[in-house]
Structure 1
């Protein structure tokens, strides 16, 4: 399962194809790799299709509007080919259409890769892996992890504040001035509670011997195993195989230049 892959190696397996896909301006390469990512997502994870679609679908609507704009306002270097149709004072050519579709597919690949990483990675293991494999300072990693853990409590405290205001007869604010006052009523108590919690966490960490030293032992050791490198090689290798297929069939286009 992908959830057991070392987070640092997994991040590399997501980042490298994402960067290389940004160089591809054809349709074949991102389309085939997008299909590969989707197959990997549902074959080697326990992510439900419904949950994945609920997160993925809003991005599709944004990408469609973005690619439509890209097609209308394409640069002069991508305005070649036959004119497909004219819209107001815009002329949409075959090359502009291909570039916009390629942009949409590349964006979908980025989103699918991001979801594959986010939905299969535990935040605690990610911070531990960054500290042990990439040697990030413990002060940064534990600080980020502590802040991430506080987010659900802030949401709960905000709901308590809202209920307390309703009990005391304070209704929902109207207008810009009222909303600013409401923001002040909410932000000051939340900030005060955050400072108190930060002090308690800092005191607790110091009492447990936390000094921020890099040379320390870990209760949970994150190791890079053979399966991690197999996953990395599979994700990157699949992209290079897709690029080779695109080149073989004459579709490969890098930065607007056809590679035949």
Structure 2
């Protein structure tokens, strides 16, 4: 599917979740995001670990942390859950904390829908083709973004070379610091060489010489993209209408 369709589908829900304060609404959107990810996205083992462990763990940590930060004077009329000396944790603080944690978790899970199903090149192509972003900006940003995995690859090669030569053996913080300092110069040299190769490759392809470029890979905006957006908007509106988190307390 078109990356822009996936981003546009979740955008209204992400924006509206910022303003909800209940527990049911973020739980519903969290379930919706998980359903779409499980059914519609081919997940790797790392992505499954993020969904099953990282996101719930983050919700628990954030929920408990925000509960501790909640002003006790605002929830003093609720039932006390834990008391240590003069400090008391109220059920209202837990509700506020976990409502915030669930809200952030739901926003994260919705963001994973385009994040786990979209590649950087396809997003750039879609922005250039549909949003009319100048290709000079799009592909330059993509080239800069691809420097990050390149640095990781070169760092691993430098580490292997140091191991083969037996450089900076030893344990402890001093030896670790010496190893990291010794990586800096070869890593910078490799980065400069890579930047020069990228610049030469872009110049040899006349990058920036013309206002438009012929795309080898097209990312069209099809009818199925429109259907997905509309269905996601309808389901989001139905969930918000069902729970209506902005209703005044009775």
User: Shorter chain as normaliser: what TM range?
Assistant: 0.7 to 0.9
Question: Displacement, 1:40?
Answer: 1.7
- 1:178–1:108 CA distance, 2 compared to 1 (3 A): same
> For residues 115 and 74 of structure 1, do their structure 2 counterparts lie closer, same or farther at Cα, with a shift above 3 Å needed?
same
Where 1:135 maps in the other structure, the secondary structure is: coil
Task: Give the C-alpha shift of residue 196 in structure 1.
Answer: 1.3
1:129 maps to which of 126, 129, 139: 126
Matches within 5 A, 1:1-260: 5-47=1-43, 51-56=46-51, 57-75=53-71, 78-79=74-75, 81-88=77-84, 89-172=86-169, 174=171, 177-211=174-208, 213-247=210-244, 252=245, 254=246, 258=248
Determine the C-alpha separation between the residues in 2 that align with 1:172 and 1:213.
53
Q: With the length of structure 2 as denominator, give the TM-score of the two structures.
A: 0.86
TM-score, with normalisation over the residues of structure 1?
0.83
- What RMSD over aligned residues (CA atoms) do the two structures have, in Å? 2.6
Change (3 A) 1:195 1:116: same
TM-superposed CA distance for 1:82, in Å, is 2.1
Gap runs ≥5 in structure 2: none
2-structure distance, mates of 1:8, 1:218: 17
Q: In 2, are the aligned partners of 1:18 and 1:110 still within 8 Å (CA)?
A: yes
**Where in structure 1 do 4 or more consecutive aligned residues deviate above 6 Å?**
none
CA separation in 1, counterparts of 2:234 and 2:169? 55
Aligned pair in 2 of structure 1 residues 240, 172: CA closer, same or farther (>3 Å)? farther
Contact preservation (8 Å) 1:72, 1:91? no
Alpha-carbon offset, residue 65 of structure 1 = 1.9
Q: Provide structure 1 residue ranges, at least 5 long, that are not aligned to the other structure.
A: none
The whole-number CA distance in structure 1 between the counterparts of 2:129 and 2:73 is 46
Post-superposition Cα deviations, 1:205-227, rounded to whole Å, max 9, x if no partner, equal: 11112116543332223322222
